Amino acid sequence: MNATDAILLAARKQLHEGTTALELPAFDRGAACSDDLWVDGARFLVRASLRPGDGASRWIVDLQDSSPASDRVALGLDPELVRFAAVAAFSDALGLEHADARLRGALALLTDDSTWVGRAPAGDACARLFGAARVFDAIRGALALAWPTRARAASCSLGAIVIAGQDDDALVDVVPGGRGASVDEAGTSAWPGPLLTAGPLRPRAGITPDHAARPESGGGGARHGGDGVIARYRFDSPTRVRVALDRITNPPHGLDRAGPPLCGELLRIDRAGDAHPLAPWQHHTLGAGETLEVRTAGGAGHGFPGWGIDFDWE
């Protein structure tokens, strides 16, 4: 494991033991939802099917129908990280502040080691953490259908991970995305998600970062999704960069006829100010005076957009 991977995995959020009374409601109905992760042009689908359990297992989370593991991209998601994502999704749906360790025993988690979800760890930490974010999103989407009163539109639960420089002396920065809207409120802008704390995990001299809101990037609806973030990095000398970024062709989905947000984008701004698209997950070298611009996706909206708007029909 290289130094950057070690930093990312060490920064991963942990389960907390809650102290308030824990509500364990039954599903109104079983439900399923899918989400996908794109890494180096390969698509990894997560399929989450939820149904009532029995005995100590209050709920069954079935991920066995996820995409098979691929030789093209070495990516595996170990059961520990999958379980964390599942507990985080249920905690979020129950309105808990943190992923609550007490929910572990209430979940029967079904995986298949021939798929990339539940397989022995492989690939780098960026891909593993993005994979866990997509598992969170898929389970959270199924929960929105299983518990309609707790419905939340899909989010960009991990915006981007920016690595700039050599491994032993590289900037490592986590850029948030936007959170989806709920039945009660608009989404949260610059939402850090359940996995990593947003912000620089390791700074680096010679790189000037600047984070700003990405206005109107959240999905429209009766309750709009939260906005993503625009992060810019100016380089004083030639610098090797790699950006883990998803939601470029697969934006979070809205609920109840609401719309998706803007997708993620990655750009190189040359010294003349012209923008050039860059491929995520690949290594690129930017010159002195050039700027890397990362635009994360917003969250999706919730609710028919015309609801509650006072206007006259023509």
159 in any annotated domain: yes
Measured between alpha carbons, how far is residue 89 from residues 93, 133, 136 in Å? 6, 10, 5
Measured between alpha carbons, how far is residue 294 from residues 59, 121, 207, 246, 302 in Å? 38, 28, 14, 11, 26
pLDDT bucket at 41, cuts 50 / 70 / 90: confident
pTM, entire model: 0.93
Q: Give tens-digit pLDDT for 83-117.
A: 999 999 999 999 998 999 999 999 999 999 899 99
Identify which of 230, 231, 158, 179 has the alpha carbon closest to the alpha carbon of residue 12. Answer: 158
| Residue 266 pLDDT > 70 | yes
11 in any annotated domain: yes
| Residue 311 pLDDT > 80 | no
Same domain, 203 and 294: yes
Q: Give tens-digit pLDDT for 165-216.
A: 987 889 999 999 999 999 999 999 999 999 999 999 999 988 988 999 999 9
68 in any annotated domain: yes
Provide the residue range defining the domain that includes 256: 154-304
- Domain C-terminal end among 150, 169, 196: 150
Same domain, 200 and 251: yes
Q: Per-residue pLDDT averaged across 51-65, rounded?
A: 90
Region of poorest pLDDT, from 31-35, 55-59, 238-242: 55-59
Question: Which pLDDT does position 12 carry in this prediction?
Answer: 93
Measured between alpha carbons, how far is residue 116 from residues 72, 179, 271 in Å? 12, 26, 41
For the four alpha carbons of 157, 227, 251 and 27, in that order, the dihedral sign comes to: positive
Same domain, 92 and 187: no
pLDDT bucket at 309, cuts 50 / 70 / 90: low
Same domain, 160 and 300: yes
20 in any annotated domain: no
Q: Per-residue pLDDT averaged across 214-228, rounded?
A: 96
pLDDT bucket at 28, cuts 50 / 70 / 90: confident
23 in any annotated domain: no
Same domain, 211 and 276: yes
Same domain, 258 and 128: no
Secondary element (H or E) of residue 207? strand 207-213
Q: What is the largest CA-CA distance in the chain?
A: 65
Same domain, 47 and 170: no
Using a pLDDT cut of 70, give the percent of the chain over it. Answer: 95
- Domain C-terminal end among 83, 118, 150: 150
Distance, in Å, from the CA atom of 30 to the CA atom of 270, rounded to the nearest integer, reads: 51
Question: Which pLDDT does position 3 carry in this prediction?
Answer: 83
Total domains in the fold of the chain: 2
Question: Which pLDDT does position 292 carry in this prediction?
Answer: 98
